[in-house]
Structure 1
Amino acid sequence: MTADATLTSLLDAARARIGESREQSEPVWSQILAHSQVAETAPRVWACSEFIATSCSRNPSLLLALIENGRLLDRATSEWIAQDLVAHERGQSEAELMEALRHFRRRHMVRIAWRDIAGWADLDETLRDLSALADVCIQFAYDRMYAMLTARYGTPRGESSNDPQSMLILGMGKLGAHELNYSSDIDLVFLYPEEGQTDGARSVDNAEFFLRLGQKVTQLLSTQTVDGFVYRVDLRLRPFGDSGRVAMGFGAFEDYLQQHGRDWERYAYVKARAITAQEHFASLYDEVLRPFVFRRYLDFSVFESLRDMKAMIAREVERRELRDNIKLGPGGIREIEFIVQAFQLIRGGNDRRLQNRELRTVLPLLANQRLLGREIVSDLDAAYRFLRLAENRLQEWNDEQTHRLPTDDTAQTRFALSLGMADWSSAATKLTMHRERVARYFAQTVFGPAGSATDQPAPVAGFDLDAPAEDRERALNDFGLGNSPALAQALDQLRTSAYYRRLDDTGRRRLRAALSPVLQSIAKVEAPEVTFARIARILEMIGGRTVYLALLNENATALQRLVQLCSQSQFLADQIAAHPLLLDELIDERLIGEPPSRAQFAEDLEARRGALHGEDAERQVELLRNFQSAAIFRVAVADLTGHLPLMKVSDRLTDIAELIVEEALGLAWTQMTGKHGLPMCGDRPEELRPSSMIVVAYGKFGGLELGYSSDLDLVFLHDSVGEVQRTDGAQTLDNSVFFQRLAQRLVHLLTVHTAAGRLYEVDTRLRPGGNRGLLAQTLRSFREYEFQEAWTWEHQSLLRARAVAGNAGLRDAFEEARLEVLRNAVRRTDLRDEVRKMRARMRENLSKAGPGQVDLKQDAGGVADLEFLVQYWMLKWADRYPEIVIFSDNIRQLESLASGNLVPQSRVDFLVNTYRRYRERLHHLSLNGAKNVIADNEFVEERRGVVEIWAEVMGENL
C-alpha cells in the first residue's frame, strides 16, 4: 500500500470509529460535533492518538466537558487546572483520592494531546501545560497526605525553632525546567528543613514522619489501579540513590553534596525546582545548591565528566539497541541537553543568566556569549524543538513512555501525519538532518572540532614531573629541548615547588596532560626557557584552580595561543597570571587576527550586563573588572601582534573606560534612587522635573589618549536648580546631597578593591575649587567659576575635557559651556607668561630622570612641552577661530591649527609625527612596566626640534 493510501486508510478508520461512538452516545456527540473546530480536527487527532480515541469513545462526556468549560479550545492556566482538580475531588480516603487523581489526569492528558495534535498549542505551551499538570498533582498529593499524617502523628516541628515543618519536593529534570514530555516519569527529591519531632499524641521524629510522607505521596501518584496511575515516580536522584533515605533534612543534604556530590549530580541539579514549600527553597538554593552546581570560576572540568556520562549512555544504547531512540541515541535530545548544561556549569558561576533551568531560554544566551556560533545555536534550537515535538507525538499515540521511532509502515505513516508531514520519508529525512547536526555539534563541543584541535602532530611522549630524572631527560630530547639545561632546571623547580606539592591527583593529572603540548610548542619559539618561565608563573598563580588546566587540555588552540603570547610579551603573561580568567579569552577565534572594536566591547558588556543584576555591589564591580581585564587583554594582544596601530590602541582603551564609567554610573544611580527616589527640581512643587548628573573626562581620558595603566581624571556636574530641589523617595535628600553621594558612590565603584582587583585610579582634583570644591557641582556654578575664578592652567585642562557618561541633553549643555568658556573667559593678555610659569613648575617637580637619562614626558622637548605649545595656541586663538577648540585630542587640535593656517603645516606635521613617536615609546615602556625615562641619546633630533619651537613661540630657552 502506498503512503497516500495508508494515510487515507488511517483517517477513514478514525472517522468510522467516531461514527461508531456517536451511534452509542448520539446526544453527547451531537453537542461535541456542533463545534466546527473539534469536528474538523477529530479524525486527525483520533488517527494519531489511540489514547484519545479510547478515552473519548468510552467516555464522550469527558470531551464534552472540556469543550463546554472552554479549556479544549483555549489555553488553560495552572490556577484553573488546580481548581478543576479540587472541584472533582470525591471523598478523603486514599482509594478515593487515587481515583480522583487518575480521572483528573486522564481528562487533562486528553485536553493537552488534542490541542497539540490539532495544532492549537505550540511546543512551549504543551511542555508548560504538562509540567503544570504534574505540579498540581504533586501538590494535591502532598497536601492530602500531609493532612492525613498530621492527623495521626501531629505537626512536625523543628528541633531548634519549634516551627512547623513542611516537606520541600524538588522537581528534577524536565519537570524542574517546565519542559515535561507527554508520558514522562517525574524525578523527585524529598527534603525537609529541620530535624525534630511531631507534636501529636503518637509522636514520631521528623525523619520518620517525612519518610512516611514521601512514601505516601509516591504511592498516591504511582500505584497502578484499575484507572491506571498518575505518574511513575523516580526517586533515584536523591542522595545515595536507591540506598539513600527517601526524605532527608537540609543539613544532611548539604553535607552529602559537599562530601559525596558527583559531577553527574551537578548536571541534575541545574534543573532543580521547588514544587512544594517554596518559601524554603530560596535559602537552600543560595546556600547549598548554587555553590555546588555553579562554581565561581570557569569550570572546564565538566567536559571530562560529560565524556564519561556520554560513554556510559553510549554503552547502554548499544546494549539495548537504542540507536533509533530520539532521546538517548546519537544526535538525540539528551545530547542537546548535555551541550547546554555543560556550558551552564562552565560559566554559570560568572553569569546568573545561565543558571536558568529552561533549555530554550539558555540556548540563545550561548550565542550572545560567543560560546557557540549563532548558526549552531539556531540549528540546535530547531533540532530541539523538532525532536521534542516528535517525542510528544510518539508518546501521545498510546500514552506510553517511548522514544523509539516506529518500524512498521502504518505506524510510520501515522507518525508522519502527527507531525503534519506528507509521508514517512519526509519525516525520516528531517529527523536524520537534525540528529546528524546535533551529533556533529556534540562531538565538536565535547571532543573538539575534527582536525582543528591542533594542526600539529600529537605529542611524541608524555611528560611526567614525577618520573625519574632520566625519563624526563629522554622526554625533553624527544621534544627537541634536550640541549637546554635551564629548561630542565626550571622543570625541576616546578616539580619541587610548593604549588606542585599542593596539587591533588586530579590536578597532577591535568598538569601532566598540559605539559606535553606546552613543551612541544615552546620548542618552536625563539626563547623557550623564557617562555616556559612565564608559563610556569601562570601555572603557579592558578594554584589549586586546576579547572584552568582543564580549559587548556580541552582546547588545544587556547594552549597554543598561550605559548605564542607568552613568547611575545611579558606584559601579556603578567596579565594572565594576575587574572587567570583571561585564559578563557584564548578560546575566542577573534583574539588573533581580528582587531577589537568598540562595538565588540559594547556587545560583550551587554552580554555580561544580565549577570550584574541580582548581585551585590562588590560582585557587580568584580564582574565589571572581569570585563575590563578581558577587553584590555584583547587590545594588548592586537597591539603586540601588530594588528592595532598606536592611535587605535588608545581609542580602544578609551572606549573601554567610557563603557565602564557609563555602566558604573548606571549602577550607582540605581543604588541611590532605589533608596532615595529620583532627584526632582523646579520653582514650584507642582511643576518639578527630574535632574541628572554627567561625568566629564579630563586629561588623557578626555583627550582619547588612555594608556594601559592611565588614571581617570573626572569631574561631576548636575543640572538641579530651582526653589525646590529634593528626591521623591521615602528617604528624601536635598539634591545637592544626593548628587554628592552619587558621585562618591561612583568613585567608590571605580576604585574599590575586589577579588579581581580594581577598575581605575580616579583623580577628581580638576573640579572647580580643587579638593576644596564640592565633588558634584551644578553646570551653572561650573560655568561661573570658569569665567570668574579659573586659572589659566584650568582653561588649559578644559581643552582636553569632554562629557563621557550621563544624560545626553546635559552633556550637550556642558559642551556648549566649555566652548563658551574657551572662547570668552580666557585671559589672553598674560597668557604666554602663565603658560610658561606652569610649565616651569612641572619641569622642576615632576622629572624622574637621573644622570644620562631623559624624562620623555617632563624634560625639555618632551611630551609636556609639546602639549603646552598646542594648548597655548588653542587658547590664544580660540576667540577668533572658535572651531579649533571643538576637538579634545592633541592630534586633531594640531590638525585644526594647520587647517586654519594658524601654524604652518610643516611645523604641525613635525609635531604630529613627534607626538606619535613619543607616545609609541611611552606606550611600550608602560607595557614593560617601566617608567617614562629613556637614555639621553634617544629622540635627540625630535627633542631639539620641540625646544626650538618652544623658544620661538614662548620666547624662552629651555
Structure 2
Amino acid sequence: MTTAISDTAQQLLARTEARLAAAREDNPEIWGPILEDKRVVESLPRVWTCSEFVATSCIRSPALLSDLIANGQLFERAPADWLAQEIEARVGAELGSDSEADLMEFLRRFRRRNMVRIAWRDIAGWATLDETLHDLSKLADVCIDLVYRRMYAALVARYGTPRGAESGEAQPMMILGMGKLGGGELNFSSDIDLILLYPEDGETDGARAIDNAEFFLRLGQKIVQQLATPTVEGFVYRVDLRLRPFGDSGRLALSFASFEHYLQQHGRDWERYAYVKARALTSTEQFPSLYDEVLRPFVYRRYLDFSVFESLRDMKAMIAREVERRELKDNIKLGPGGIREIEFIVQAFQLIRGGSDRRLQGKELRIILPQLVGQRLLREGAVQELQAAYEYLRVLENRLQQWNDEQTHQLPEDAEARQRLAFAMNVGSWDELVAITGAHRQRVERYFTQTVFGPAERTDGLGHAVETFDVDADATERARMLESCGVAESEAINARLEELRTSAYYRRLDETGRRRLRELLARILPMLSSTGVATATLARILRIFEMIGGRTVYLALLTENAAALRRLVELCARSQFLADQIAAQPLLLDELIDERFVEEAPSRAQFAIDLAASRGRMQQEDPERQVEILRQFQGAATFRVAVADLTAGLPLMKVSDRLTDIAELIVQEALSLAWAQITHKHGVPRYVDEQGESRTASMIVVAYGKLGGLELGYGSDLDLVFLHDSSGESQKTDGAQSVENTVFFQRLGQRLVHLLTVHTASGRLYEVDTRLRPSGNRGLLVQSLAAFREYEFHEAWTWEHQSLLRARAIAGDRRVCEQFEQARIDVLRKAVKREGLKDEVRKMRQRMRDNLSKARPGQVDLKQDAGGVADLEFLVQYWMLEWADRYPEIVTFSDNIRQLESLGSGNLVPQARVDFLVDTYRKYRQRLHRLALDGAKNVVGDTEFVEERRGVVEVWQEVMREAGDLR
C-alpha cells in the first residue's frame, strides 16, 4: 500500500540532501562554489531526487556540474548551432590524438555532460518539452557527424577516397536518421535508428584500393562501434540498423541505386510510415534530390491513399499481439492509447494526403498535428486533446528514462519508484498519476479507434454483419444473395451486376481492387431499398466506380469510411448531376468524409479559408500543377454548393451568391498567379503620373453578365473585361527584360485567360468570353481605364451600355476598382443616347427572339420567347438607362433583383409591378436552375408559367409602345 506523496517526497528529498552533504564533505573546495548559486541550491534536490543518473554523474564528477554553471550552459537555452560549435571546441581542447579509443572516451564524456545539462534543465522546469526533444536530437546529430568524419578520414588514409565509377567524384556516406531522431524529437534514453547510404558504386583511389561497397561497410561498422560499444563510461547511443532494406539480412550500407530498386520492388507499407521521418544527418546537400526522386514517390502518392488504413490495422494488430505476449499493458509507448498510436494517427493522415499537400510532408509530429484541423481531417477539440496527451506522455517518457538513463516505457511496479515518478510529474500521489495517465490514454485510444478501426465497421447500416458480395457468382446465386439482403428491384439490379461482371472495367481490376469492390457492394446493396430508386442509384454509383478505373484507393476511401459511403448512396439517389460531378472528379469523394459537409451551409468565408489552404499547397508547385489545385478547390466548393442546393434546400439566390463567390475567389487567385509569373520575367509595370511621381500600374478584372449580376449558375461562362491604370510618361516595366506597359498588360491578360481556361486532368476552370471589351475582338485584350471611358462615351452602342449595367470590378487593385465604378456611373448617367433609346432596345430584343429561341411547337424558350427572362431583363435595362441621368443611385447595384427594387423604392415603377416582376424573375430562375441541374435546355412546355408570361408581355407592350410618356 502506497504512502501519501507528501511523506514519501520528504523522505526522498531527505535522502538527496544526505547524499549532497556527503559529497560536499568529501570535496568541499569544489562543492562550496557550486552551492553558492541560488538557482542550483533550489533546483538540485528535485533534480537529484528525480534522476539517479544526474545525481551519480555529478557526485562522480562535480567538475562537470561546476563547468556547466561557470559557462552558464545549465541555465540558458542553447542556440541552434551551439552544440556543433561546442563539440568542435572540446575536440580541439580534449582529444589529443586520432586514437579510436580516445575518441570513444571523448564521445561518452561529451554525451554525459550534455545529458546532465538537458535532464537538469528539463526536470527543473527551465526548458520546454520542444526544447528538450530538439536538444536531445541535436546532441545525437553532432555526435554522429563527428564519428562519421573521423572514421571516414581514417579509412581514406588507409584505402584512399571512394570514387564513383561513372562520375569519378568522391563519394560521401549519407546517414539517414529515422524515427524520433529523424523527426528531431528524440527521447532521453532512446536508441537511434539509422540507414547508411552512398551515392555510387566504384572503388577507392588509394594504393590499397577496395570497392565502395566494402569501404562503406567498414565505415558503417566503425561508426556503430564508436557509438554503441560499452566502456567504463557507458555508450553513446544504442544503434539500430534494422530499418535498412531487408533488415538484419541486408547489406549494412547501400548505394542510392540499390536503395531505389529496393523501395520500388520490395518496399512494404510499414516502411512508408518509417520513411515519413527520414532525415539526412550527413551529406545533407545530396538529400533533396534523393528525397524528390526516390523517397517522396515511395512514401507519398499523388492521389488520396486511404489504403494505408489496411496496413495500419495490420501493424497495430502485430503490435497488440507483442504487447499481450510481453505483458506491456502499462507501456506508455506501445500499450493502448500510447505514444505510438498518436504517431500512427498523424502518419496515417500524412500518407493519405501528403502527396497532394506538401505541407503535410514534415517530420515533426507537433508541427503536423495542428495542421490536421486546417485540412478538416480532425476536429479542433480532438487535435487539442491529442496534443495534450502527446506532450504529457513524452514528458512522462523522459521522466521514466531520466531516472537511470535506461530505455524504458513501462510504468514501474515498485512502490518507491512509483512515488518518485509521481513527484517527478508534479502530482500528489501515484493514484493521481495513474488517473491522469489513464485519461490521456483513453482519449488517444478512442481517437485511434475512430480513425483507424471505427470507420471500417462492416455493417449494412441496419446492424447486419456484411463481408462481401460475390460479383462472379452466377445469376441464380446472385439473385439469392440479393433476396437475402432485402434488395428492391432485384431483377433489374441483378442484370446491372451482370453488366458489371462482364465489363472491361471489372476485368482490369487487380485482386485488391476486386476485393474492395466486393466489400463495397456488400454494404451498398442493402442501402438501395430505402432510396426508392434502387436501380438508378446503383447505375450511378457503378458509373463512378468505372470512372475511377484502376485507382482503387478511392474504393478504399469508401471502404474505410461508412459515413462517406452512406452520403454517396444518398447523393446518387437524389441527383444525376451530383453523380456526374463525382464521376468527372473522383477527388470529390474526399468531401464526403468531412462531417461539416452536411452540418454547415457553404459560405464565402469558408471558401476563402479553403482557398488559403490550397494556396499553401501551390507555393512549391509548377504553374500547371497550380491550376490543377485551383481546379480541385473549385470542384470541391461547387460540389458543396450543389449538395446544399439539392439536399438542404439552399435558396436559389444563395446558390448564385456562393457560385459567384467561388468564381471571384478563383479569378482573384488566378490574377495573383498570372501577375507573379509575368512580373518574374519582365518586372513590375511603372509609370510617371501628372505630378511626376513614379507609380506601379495595376490591372483589374471587370465581370459582366451573370457573374457581374451575381447570378452565376453551374457551368456558367465568365464574361470578363480587363483594364489597367497605366498612363503618363515612361510606361515600362522595371525588370531585366523590360517591356512597354501595354505589352506587359496584354501578356498579363493572356496569361490570366490561359490559367482560367487551360485543360487540366480534372477539366478547366471556366469558359471565358472577353468579347464585351471595347471594340470586341478587334480591340486590345487589356485596355486602359481612360481608353475604356473614352470609348463608352463616344463609340459604344446602346447594347454595350445595357451590358455595363451588370458590370462589377471583382479583382485587382481596390483603388482602380473604385475608379472603374465611378467611370461606370458617369457613363450610365451622361453617355447614354436617350433619344431613340426605346427603339434601340426594342430592335435588339427582337433580333434575339428571332435568332436565339430553341423552342419547338408546344414548347416555350423560357429565356428568349415572349414574356420570358430576356423580356424582363430588357425592361429593367431600359428603365435604368432612361432614368440614370436623373436618379444615379439606381445604377448602384448590378443584379436585376436589386435594380428592380431600387426602381420601386424611387417610385419610378409602381411597387405592385416591381413585386410582380421580382416574383416572376425568381420563379423563372428557379426553373432554369433545375433544368440546368438535369442537363436540359431552357425549354419548358407551353402550359407552364402561362400567367407569368402573359403578365410580362403586357408590361412590355405597355412600356415599349412606340409613342407615349412612360411616366
Q: Normalising by the residue count of structure 2, what TM-score does the alignment of the two structures yield?
A: 0.96
Give the AA of the match of 1:409: A
In the alignment, the residues of structure 2 paired with residue 585 and residue 801 of structure 1 have an alpha-carbon distance, to the nearest angstrom, of 33
Aligned twin of 2:257: 251
User: Among residues 705, 715, 718, which one is paired with 1:709 in the alignment?
Assistant: 715
In the alignment, the residues of structure 1 paired with residue 611 and residue 492 of structure 2 have an alpha-carbon distance, to the nearest angstrom, of 43
**Are residue 375 (structure 1) and residue 377 (structure 2) matched?**
no
**Are residue 791 (structure 1) and residue 797 (structure 2) matched?**
yes
Shift of 1:681: 2.7
In the alignment, the residues of structure 2 paired with residue 78 and residue 953 of structure 1 have an alpha-carbon distance, to the nearest angstrom, of 79
Shift of 1:271: 0.9
Aligned twin of 2:733: 727
**CA shift digits 1:923-951 (9 cap, x unpaired):** 11111112222333332322222222222
In the alignment, the residues of structure 1 paired with residue 203 and residue 780 of structure 2 have an alpha-carbon distance, to the nearest angstrom, of 62
Shift of 1:377: 0.5
Shift of 1:763: 1.0
Q: Is the 8 A contact 1:186 1:233 kept in 2?
A: yes
Q: Is the 8 A contact 2:489 2:534 kept in 1?
A: no
Aligned twin of 1:860: 866
Aligned twin of 2:171: 165
Aligned twin of 1:320: 326
**Are residue 531 (structure 1) and residue 537 (structure 2) matched?**
yes
In the alignment, the residues of structure 2 paired with residue 865 and residue 395 of structure 1 have an alpha-carbon distance, to the nearest angstrom, of 82
User: Among residues 891, 897, 901, which one is paired with 1:891 in the alignment?
Assistant: 897
Aligned twin of 2:185: 179
**CA shift digits 1:456-486 (9 cap, x unpaired):** 2225673111234332121011122375322
Residue pairs, 1:772-921, within 5 angstroms? 772-921=778-927
Aligned twin of 1:81: 83
Aligned twin of 1:72: 74
Shift of 1:455: 4.4
**Are residue 947 (structure 1) and residue 949 (structure 2) matched?**
no
The change in CA–CA distance for 1:119 and 1:438 in structure 2 (over 3 A counts) is same
Partner of 1:146, secondary structure, is helix
Q: Is the 8 A contact 1:459 1:520 kept in 2?
A: no
**CA shift digits 1:69-107 (9 cap, x unpaired):** 222111113422112212222121211111111111111
User: Among residues 279, 287, 292, which one is paired with 2:285 in the alignment?
Assistant: 279
Shift of 1:672: 2.7
Partner of 2:81, secondary structure, is helix
**Are residue 740 (structure 1) and residue 746 (structure 2) matched?**
yes
Aligned twin of 1:49: 51
Tell me the C-alpha RMSD between the 2 structures. Answer: 1.9
Shift of 1:280: 1.1
The change in CA–CA distance for 1:659 and 1:453 in structure 2 (over 3 A counts) is farther
Aligned twin of 2:31: 29
Shift of 1:728: 3.1
User: Among residues 38, 41, 60, which one is paired with 1:39 in the alignment?
Assistant: 41
Shift of 1:855: 2.2
Residue pairs, 1:113-262, within 5 angstroms? 113-262=119-268
Residue pairs, 1:599-614, within 5 angstroms? 599-614=605-620
The change in CA–CA distance for 1:56 and 1:730 in structure 2 (over 3 A counts) is farther
Bigger mean CA deviation after superposition, 117-126 or 71-80: 71-80
Q: Is the 8 A contact 1:459 1:516 kept in 2?
A: no
Aligned twin of 1:388: 394
Give the AA of the match of 1:802: R
In the alignment, the residues of structure 2 paired with residue 630 and residue 410 of structure 1 have an alpha-carbon distance, to the nearest angstrom, of 58
Give the AA of the match of 1:201: A
**Are residue 58 (structure 1) and residue 60 (structure 2) matched?**
yes
Shift of 1:687: 4.0
**CA shift digits 1:344-391 (9 cap, x unpaired):** 111111111111111111111111122111110100000000111111
In the alignment, the residues of structure 2 paired with residue 27 and residue 383 of structure 1 have an alpha-carbon distance, to the nearest angstrom, of 45
Aligned twin of 2:438: 432
User: Among residues 693, 696, 702, which one is paired with 2:702 in the alignment?
Assistant: 696
User: Among residues 575, 579, 582, which one is paired with 1:569 in the alignment?
Assistant: 575
Q: Is the 8 A contact 2:323 2:329 kept in 1?
A: yes
Aligned twin of 1:112: 118
In the alignment, the residues of structure 1 paired with residue 568 and residue 716 of structure 2 have an alpha-carbon distance, to the nearest angstrom, of 26
Partner of 2:686, secondary structure, is strand
Aligned twin of 2:940: 934
Q: Is the 8 A contact 2:488 2:528 kept in 1?
A: no
Q: Is the 8 A contact 1:195 1:205 kept in 2?
A: yes
Structure 2, unaligned runs of 5 or more: none
The change in CA–CA distance for 1:937 and 1:773 in structure 2 (over 3 A counts) is same
Aligned twin of 2:639: 633
Shift of 1:222: 1.1
Structure 1, unaligned runs of 5 or more: none
Give the AA of the match of 2:121: R
Kindly tell me the number of residue pairs found equivalent between the two proteins.
957
Q: Is the 8 A contact 1:173 1:271 kept in 2?
A: yes
The change in CA–CA distance for 1:481 and 1:453 in structure 2 (over 3 A counts) is closer
Q: Is the 8 A contact 2:674 2:752 kept in 1?
A: yes
**CA shift digits 1:421-476 (9 cap, x unpaired):** 23323322211111111111111111126999874222567311123433212101
Aligned twin of 1:20: 22
The change in CA–CA distance for 1:880 and 1:268 in structure 2 (over 3 A counts) is same
Q: Is the 8 A contact 1:693 1:717 kept in 2?
A: yes
Give the AA of the match of 1:439: E
Shift of 1:65: 1.4
**CA shift digits 1:830-888 (9 cap, x unpaired):** 21122122222322332233343332222222211211111111111011111111111
Give the AA of the match of 1:23: E
Partner of 1:726, secondary structure, is strand
Bigger mean CA deviation after superposition, 290-299 or 855-864: 855-864
**CA shift digits 1:483-502 (9 cap, x unpaired):** 53221111011111111111
Bigger mean CA deviation after superposition, 598-607 or 645-654: 598-607
Q: Is the 8 A contact 1:593 1:638 kept in 2?
A: no
Give the AA of the match of 1:6: T
In the alignment, the residues of structure 2 paired with residue 593 and residue 278 of structure 1 have an alpha-carbon distance, to the nearest angstrom, of 47
Give the AA of the match of 1:128: H
Residue pairs, 1:580-729, within 5 angstroms? 580-592=586-598, 594-683=600-689, 687-729=693-735
User: Among residues 101, 111, 126, which one is paired with 2:107 in the alignment?
Assistant: 101
Aligned twin of 2:6: 4
Bigger mean CA deviation after superposition, 23-32 or 51-60: 23-32
Q: Is the 8 A contact 1:839 1:868 kept in 2?
A: yes
In the alignment, the residues of structure 2 paired with residue 210 and residue 845 of structure 1 have an alpha-carbon distance, to the nearest angstrom, of 80
Give the AA of the match of 2:621: E
Partner of 1:524, secondary structure, is helix
In the alignment, the residues of structure 1 paired with residue 617 and residue 680 of structure 2 have an alpha-carbon distance, to the nearest angstrom, of 19
In the alignment, the residues of structure 2 paired with residue 39 and residue 673 of structure 1 have an alpha-carbon distance, to the nearest angstrom, of 62
The change in CA–CA distance for 1:732 and 1:64 in structure 2 (over 3 A counts) is farther
Aligned twin of 2:300: 294
The change in CA–CA distance for 1:557 and 1:724 in structure 2 (over 3 A counts) is same
Bigger mean CA deviation after superposition, 775-784 or 519-528: 775-784
Give the AA of the match of 2:48: W
Partner of 1:284, secondary structure, is helix
In the alignment, the residues of structure 2 paired with residue 582 and residue 108 of structure 1 have an alpha-carbon distance, to the nearest angstrom, of 52
Bigger mean CA deviation after superposition, 271-280 or 462-471: 462-471
Residue pairs, 1:446-461, within 5 angstroms? 446-448=452-454, 455-459=461-465
Q: Percent identity?
A: 70
Give the AA of the match of 1:491: L
In the alignment, the residues of structure 1 paired with residue 701 and residue 425 of structure 2 have an alpha-carbon distance, to the nearest angstrom, of 58
Shift of 1:318: 0.7
Q: Is the 8 A contact 2:479 2:490 kept in 1?
A: no
Partner of 2:197, secondary structure, is strand
Partner of 1:615, secondary structure, is coil
Give the AA of the match of 1:42: L
